[in-house]
Each structure stands twice: as structure tokens, then as C-alpha cells.
Structure 1
Amino acid sequence: MMMHWTAMKKDELEKQYSPSRWSHRMAADDVIKAHVKAVKEGTERARGLAQTLLNVPYGEGDGERLDAYIPSTNSLVRRSQDSWPCRLLVKVWWWLRSATTLLPEVVALIPVVFVYVKSSIVQYVKMCLLGNMDLMVSQVRKSVVSVVQQYSHISGLYLCGHSAGAHLAAMVLSTDWSQYSITPQIKGAFLVSGIYDLLPILSTYVNEPLKMTEEVAIRNSPSKLIPQLKLSSSCCQIVVAVAENDSPEFRKQSEYYYKALKSTGQNVTMEDVPNTDHFSIIEQLVDEEYHLVKLLLKMMGKS
């Protein structure tokens, strides 16, 4: 990635990596409140319609637990606030949610597994107070492996992540699976308004709880790990999406990651979503007519 950010002052970098300051809909504090409200209401509408299997362990850590959600109607329902966007993907089998004390949640769909990782920058910082970047990445990889092991009949894995969650989903793509007992069959990845190079945030508030060194940032930057992607361009489809009103740095992160993937022959497309900001781009996943929803369903062969 180009090193344009090195010329920026700290306050400008922090503005660039503060998504709420770039919304055209409302003031920064208001857009966050509206996002929280939308997430809460979406979850409340979805709550109560599913049978659940809760706190199934996928690791030895206290927070390494897996929740299974089995819809009792044609509508997907989930409990946690961060799980609500995927409720749209109805008329398909089982849903699972995996969460740790450190990580955004992972939602998986059976028999074609759909993994959803969501985290805002603020959530990222809060979670990092409890651990470190290496551990976060390790746990999200472990949770994916556990889902595949427990449901060995699945025919493929689809990843989706938003914001810092897109970073974690991209790190799953960059996994050296020889270190694990299985190699998941990843058929697609849907990366929304993500961060793919951690070096620019080293001098910002985001790194204050993380205390990442340059070495840690590099080994956890998907854009630096593209050479080790072992995905077949014929079987794994990657969509890199960015909001029209994301900050210039967020937009550049997506553009550079897309171009780097493309240069290695990956099956990747980029979606610049008009009339959206960092929050509305993911909030609209409840709308079946939303462009990204149609793309996601098409990727999974459900359109």
C-alpha cells in the first residue's frame, strides 16, 4: 500500500479513522446513536423466533463459546445486537453465532456456512483492552475451524465482515491452514468498509489499548499477507465494498486491497455503494432490495 498516510499529522489520521465524523446524514454523535438504535430495534424484532443452543465451547478460554440459532419460522432471528443484519437471509437452514470476550461475533449458516464478523472501531478498541491483536485473530480463526469441525457435512464457507470485522474476516482469508487440523472450503468473502493495513493506525487512539508494534501490525495486515493466500480464483469469490461517504482513508484501504487481490489473479470485485456512510452501508442489510444484499445472496447461490 502507498505510504501517503505517513505525511499526515496525528489529528488528521485520527479523523480519518473516526467513521462517525464523515457521515452526511447527521452529526457524529447522532449517527452513532442512530446506529445503536437501528441495531437494537433490528435485534428486538428478530428476538424470540428461534430455538437456541447456547454457550457451546469451541476453545478453552472463558469467552470462547458458540451459540446455535435454529429458526422456528421462515425468518432468521438472533439474540445479540451485533448479529441482526443477517436476519434477512431467510429460507435457509441453520444459523450459528460464535462470540468471545475479545471478538466480534461470527454467524454461520448450515449447510453452507455464512460467517459474519461485525465490529466498529470503537468496539475494536474496547475488545482490545482485554487482549491483543494476535489473540483476536487467533480466536476468530479458531471459531471458524470449530464450526467446520462440528458441522462436517457443510459444503462451503462464506465470510462477511464490516469495519474492523472486515479486517478479521480478511485475516481468516490469509490463514496458513497447515497450522490447523482442517482447511475450510472458503467459497466467498464479503468485506464491507474494512481496514486492511494496520500500519496507519499505529499512531492513533485506536492503538493506545493495543500497543501494537510495527511488527505486530504487519503480520496482522491482510494487505501485507496477500502472497500467502492460497485461494483458488475459480472457487472463492471476494467482494470488497466501501461506502460513498466513508472517509478517504477507509476508501483508499478498500481500493488498495482490492487492487492487490486483483493483481494476484483472485476472483475479486469492488463495490462503491452510493448514498451510504460507514454505518448505513451495513444497516441496510435488512432490506431485501438493497444492492449488497442481492450481491450477497447471489454469491451464495440464493438469488
Structure 2
Amino acid sequence: MGRWQDMTQEELEKQYAPSRWSHRMDKEAVIEAHVREVTEAFPLVLYIHGGYWQFLSKEVSGFIAPPLVTQGIAVAAVGYDVAPKGKGFQKWDQHLLSLALWPLSLCALCLGHMDVMVAQVRRSVAFIVQQYSKTSGVYLCGHSAGAHLAAMVLSTDWEEYGVTPDIKGAFLVSGVYDLEPITHTSVNNLLHVSQSDCSAVTLSLPREVARRNSPVLCMTAATPARKACEVLIAVAQHDSPEFHRQSQEYFQALRSAGWSVSLLDIADTDHFDVIEKLSQGGYILTQVILNMISRA
């Protein structure tokens, strides 16, 4: 081929018109097909991690992505400030630790951090749907504490956030839907604080905070839009009887409120591998998620 300076105007136009060179279809059709392909809406799964509101992170949540992404589903992990960071403090004040009444001050700092976590997750959902308007629907997936937070998302008054997310489904796995029993366990007690390590600080969740952040107690009646959202409540066969009870009661509460909801007891799993196995394409819960999304 000669230099471009030696080409006629017609030849130059042809050389710089990529659509003329497609082997698959004519020049008009290939452009239309390309626009359709790159702008086509896609389903989006938002994964909310567990860890009893105290550990794990979005950075370790990518394990669920491979079997979903291979089916054309986008996956995003949602983070939140686990306790005790939820109230905005990341390092303990040395002066505070020296005070005789420091436990009272710490309790004051801890009050409401569950509210913060819930608000953070709600804001994340609002932000994502504003940034990615081309989704064909949003699906929530949460495990344990993450299932609790996903359930709280379902009860959100979205007018406060200026958006109406098209949440078409929620997969709530081995969740806690009534927080009050947690307030009577060691999960909630302030066990240990040191100047060098605050990782053992637990929830310090007051009863009133627990109640207003319990999905089973802040049930929202199913509007027409919410009726279009399918909710799957899954529980591991070897979860404790309390986890089974809570899953059953939240299932009944949603159904009574008019939601489209189902309950799945997953055989031969415990509280941990029930979610770990989502990395496997052939796992029953993976298949249930894929089937629900494909029906939408």
C-alpha cells in the first residue's frame, strides 16, 4: 500500500471508515450492532459482606464474582465501617484512655454506630444506581450481618435519597433480622480496649438502636414496585436453631406484608460454607441466583 498522501479522496475515506471493513455485516448494520452491544443494560449484584458487623471487608468479597460475571452479570462489593469505626473514630484518644470514667465515654461514642452502618449501605446503593443507570435491575446479596444490612435496604424510604433503585431481587443468606437477642450476648459486650489494639471492641448496641435496626420490626408494606422484588431467605442446614427461627419469622413477616418471598434451607452447609460455595457455578444457591436473574 502506498503512502496516504498518494491516495485519492475516495480511497482515504474508505481507509478511515472502519465499518466498511467488517466481515460480519454491512457498514450500517455493524455500527447499529456495536451501539446496541455496548449500551445494553446489564443486571448488577451488590454483595454485602458479613463478619458480625465487626470484621471482613469489601476487599475480600470478590469470591462470589466469577460464576456471575461469566453469565454477563456485573458484581460490586459494598463496604461499610465495621465496629468500632462506625461512629467515625479510628484511633483511641490516649487522653480519653487515661480518664477514670473512660468506659462511659466510649459507650457514648459507640451509641448509634449501627445506624451509621445501615445509612452507609443505603447511601452506597443510592450512589451506585445513580452512577450506573443502564442496569437492567439491581440485586442485593448479603451474608450474616450483610444479610441484615441488605434487609434494612429493603425497608428504605428512598425519597430521602432522591432515587428509586430498581431492586429486582434480594438474596439474604444466614442473616439476623431481629437484633435484640444479640444485645444479650458477648457479641455485644465491650470486652477489651487497649491503646495499641481496639480490634476486640464489640458492638455495644443499646436496645433502642437494636430495635430500630431490626428488619423484622421495621417492615415496609409491599408497594407495586416492591412486589416486583423477589426475596430469597436462605439458611444453612447447620445454622443454629435461632438463625433458623429468625429466618422463618422474617420470611413470614415479609409474606404477610405482601412481598414475593421464598425460604430455602440449604442442605449439608454451615454458617460459613453456605456463602463460600457461591464461588462455584454448580452450587444450588448460585443456580438459584442465576435463575432468578434470568427470569427478570
- Sort the TM-score into its range (normalised by shorter chain): 0.5 to 0.7
The TM-score, its normalising length taken from structure 1, stands at 0.62
Superposition deviation, residue 225 in structure 1: 1.1
Superposition deviation, residue 285 in structure 1: 1.0
Q: For residues 237 and 215 of structure 1, do their structure 2 counterparts lie closer, same or farther at Cα, with a shift above 3 Å needed?
A: same
Q: Structure 2: which amino acid aligns with 1:87? A: P
Superposition deviation, residue 229 in structure 1: 5.2
Q: For residues 94 and 188 of structure 1, do their structure 2 counterparts lie closer, same or farther at Cα, with a shift above 3 Å needed?
A: closer
Which sections of structure 2, spanning at least 5 residues, go unmatched?
Answer: 1-57, 87-112, 190-201
The TM-score, its normalising length taken from structure 2, stands at 0.64
Q: For residues 228 and 81 of structure 1, do their structure 2 counterparts lie closer, same or farther at Cα, with a shift above 3 Å needed?
A: same
Larger radius of gyration: 2
**Aligned match of 1:239:** 232
Which sections of structure 1, spanning at least 5 residues, go unmatched?
Answer: 1-78, 103-126
Equivalences, count: 201
Superposition deviation, residue 228 in structure 1: 4.9
Contact kept? 2:144, 2:176, Cα under 8 Å: yes
Q: Structure 2: which amino acid aligns with 1:91? A: Q
1:301 has 2:294 as partner: yes
**Aligned match of 2:34:** none
Q: Distance in 1 between matches of 2:220 and 2:73?
A: 35
Q: Distance in 1 between matches of 2:156 and 2:226?
A: 16
**Aligned match of 2:85:** 130
Q: Distance in 2 between matches of 1:290 and 1:94?
A: 19
Over the aligned positions, Cα root-mean-square deviation in angstroms equals 2.1
**Aligned match of 2:254:** 261
What is the identity percentage for the equivalent residue pairs of Structure 1 and Structure 2? 47
Among 73, 96, 105, the alignment partner of 2:76 is: 96
Contact kept? 1:159, 1:190, Cα under 8 Å: yes
**Aligned match of 1:220:** 213
1:154 has 2:147 as partner: no
Query: How do residues 128-207 of structure 1 correspond to structure 2 at under 5 angstroms?
Result: 128-131=83-86, 132-207=113-188
Runs of 4+ in structure 1 off by over 3 angstroms are: 93-98, 227-234
Q: Distance in 2 between matches of 1:160 and 1:286?
A: 13
Superposition deviation, residue 99 in structure 1: 2.5
Q: Deviations over 1:128-182 (max 9, x none)?
A: 1112100000000011111011112222110000011000000000111121110
Q: Distance in 1 between matches of 2:175 and 2:268?
A: 18
Contact kept? 1:231, 1:266, Cα under 8 Å: no
Higher normalized helix content (fraction of residues): 2
Contact kept? 1:174, 1:229, Cα under 8 Å: no
Q: Distance in 2 between matches of 1:265 and 1:94?
A: 29
Higher normalized strand content (fraction of residues): 1
Superposition deviation, residue 81 in structure 1: 2.1
SS for the counterpart of 1:158 is strand
